[in-house]
Copies of this chain bind each other. A is one copy, B any other.
Amino acid sequence: MCRWIAYRGETKALEHYVTEPSHSLISQSIQALESTVSVNGDGFGLGWYGEHPEPGLYREVRPAWSDENLRYLCRHLHSHLFFAHVRAATGTPITRPNCHPFACGRWMFMHNGFIGSWNRLRRQVEALIPDELYPARVGTTDSEAIFLAIMGAGIEDPVGATEVTLARLTSFVNHDGAADRLRFTAALANGSDLYAFRYAVNDRANTLYYRESDEAIVVVSEPLDSDHSNWTSVPESHVLIAKAGEKARVVPFLCERREAAE
């Protein structure tokens, strides 16, 4: 159960979203409100796009709330598309490679959720990663494995690749009537377009909100301020698609596949 924020819009200092708001991500690291765990102190990460086609990452195992480097970076880094994430680990070790976001080439990914019985399903999920991407598996989380599986499932169509991957994960957790839980609330970006997914199997999906203006779209686990009327909830089994130069759309995710399977 983590908390995250994704931003796409005019180039801005990260501090306006990560550290300054009344219920900023840093506040959520020590006291989240809409989560089953309130403390997200198991490491954190920033990922941002700048002039270089590949994103930059800053990831640390210490809690976000006390990291002075994070405050300096949020003040000095400017970006048109960035992610920030505070982690509440669900079993895998507290290491930098296990902190979100993850990067692979031009793509960046972060996640709030879990695969119910990871110990039972880990090998199956890792087997979805193609050989040429397996060296990019530098950590041990379910989240990184899902990301690399999506990367290998035809990332030129990112929603399609994510649907293919999540359909497979859905069949894994439901195999032999197991009905393990799966929660997947994730963000994916390539430097210009941003995608945010809200999905779950055998469970409630984690919360996901967004706020769009002429200048920017901000997607969050929970609102950054107390004025909830500013924020729109993304429904379960939907994906928010925020392409550069277009207004964001929220469309069904995996519904047809699920209906076809039912």
Contacts and interface: CB of A to CB of B under 8 A. Distances in A.
A93 B138 contact: yes
A52 B76 contact: yes
A164 to B, nearest CB: 21
Contacts of A51: 76, 78
Count this chain's copies in the assembly. Answer: 4
B56 A42 contact: no
B58 A72 contact: yes
A1 B68 CA distance: 20
Nearest to A60: B69
A111 to B, nearest CB: 19
B62 A76 contact: no
A72 B56 contact: yes
A216 interface: no
A80 interface: no
A13 to B, nearest CB: 8
A135 B118 CA distance: 9
A77 interface: yes
Contact of A95 (B56, B72, B77, B96): B96
A50 interface: yes
Contacts of A123: 131, 134
Contacts of A119: 134-135
B56 A73 contact: yes
Contacts of A8: none
Interface string A40-70: 0110000010111000111111110110110
A43 to B, nearest CB: 9
A39 interface: yes
B66 A94 contact: yes
A112 B60 CA distance: 27
A139 B138 contact: no
Contacts of A63: 41-42, 63
B69 A89 contact: no
A238 interface: no
Given A123-B134, A140-B137, A57 B41 contact: no
Closest 4 pairs (CB-CB, A-B) = A95-B95, A56-B76, A56-B72, A119-B135
6 contacts: A42-B63, A58-B72, A58-B73, A66-B89, A93-B97, A122-B134
